[in-house]
Amino acid sequence: MLLTLFAFILALGLLVTFHELGHYWVARRAGVPIVRFSVGFGPVLLRRHDRHGTEWALSAIPLGGYVKMLDEAPPEADEATRRAVFNAQPLIRRVAIVAAGPAANLVLAALIYAFLGMWGTMEPAAVLAAPPAGTPAAQAGVREGDTLTAVAGEPVASWPQARWQLIEPLSLGGDVALTLTSDGGAVRTGTLRLTPQAVLPDGPDPLLAAGLALRAPYPVVGELVQGGAAEQAGLRPGDRILAAGDLDQPAVDTFVRIVQAHAGQALSLIVLRQGDRISLSVTPRAEAGEGGHPVGRIGALIRAELPETLVRLGPLDSLWQGVRRTADTSLFTLRMMGRMFVGDVSWKNVTGPVTIAEYAGRTARIGLESYLGFLALISISIGVLNLLPIPMLDGGHLLFYLIEALRGGRPLSERARDLGQRLGLGLVLSLMVLALFNDFSRLFS
Task: Confirm if 242 and 249 have CB atoms less than 8 A apart.
Answer: yes
Tens of pLDDT, residue by residue over 405-443, are 998 888 888 898 899 889 988 988 888 888 888 888 877
Measured distance CA(392)–CA(45) in Å, rounded:
28
Distance between CA atoms of 324 and 164, rounded to whole angstroms? 13
134 burial level (CB within 10 Å; 0-12, 13-18, 19+): exposed
Q: Which residues contact 392 (CB under 8 A, 6 or more apart)?
A: 421, 424, 425, 427, 428
Task: Please state which of the ranges 7-11, 42-46, 194-198 shows the lowest mean pLDDT.
Answer: 194-198
Q: Name 174's Cβ contacts closer than 8 Å, sequence gap at least 6.
A: 193, 194
Task: Report whether pLDDT(206) > 90.
Answer: no
Taking only the tens place, the pLDDT of each residue in 86-127 is 999 999 999 999 999 999 999 999 999 999 999 998 889 999
DSSP 8-state secondary structure symbol assigned to residue 128: B
CA distance 329 to 345: 17
CA distances from 223 to 132, 288, 299 (A): 35, 22, 9
Residues marked as catalytic = 20
Q: How far apart are CA 348 and CA 365, in angstroms?
A: 26
Say what the pLDDT of residue 32 is. 94
How much is the pLDDT for 202?
Answer: 62
Q: Are 377 and 359 in contact (CB under 8 A)?
A: no
Strand partners for 271: 241, 278
Q: What mean pLDDT do residues 157-182 have?
A: 90
- In contact, 238 and 273? CB cutoff 8 Å: yes
CB 178 within 8 A of CB 150: yes
Q: Could you report the per-residue pLDDT of 44-75, keeping only the tens digit for each? A: 899 999 988 899 999 888 878 889 999 888 88
Q: What is the reported pLDDT for 440?
A: 82
Q: In what order do the strands lie in the sheet with 154-155?
A: 154-155, 147-151, 174-181, 187-194
Model confidence at 290: pLDDT above 80: no
- Bigger pLDDT: 26 vs 308: 26
Cβ atoms within 10 A of the Cβ of 278, count?
15
Beta bridge partners of 243: 248, 270
Question: What is the pTM for the complete model shown?
Answer: 0.81
The CA distance from 333 to 432, in Å, is 18
| Domains of the chain, earliest start first | 92-120+312-445 (no CATH), 122-216 (2.30.42.10), 218-305 (2.30.42.10)
Q: What percent of the chain has pLDDT over 90?
A: 57
Half-sphere exposure of 200 (CA within 13 A, CB side): 7
Q: Quick one: average pLDDT of 346-358?
A: 82
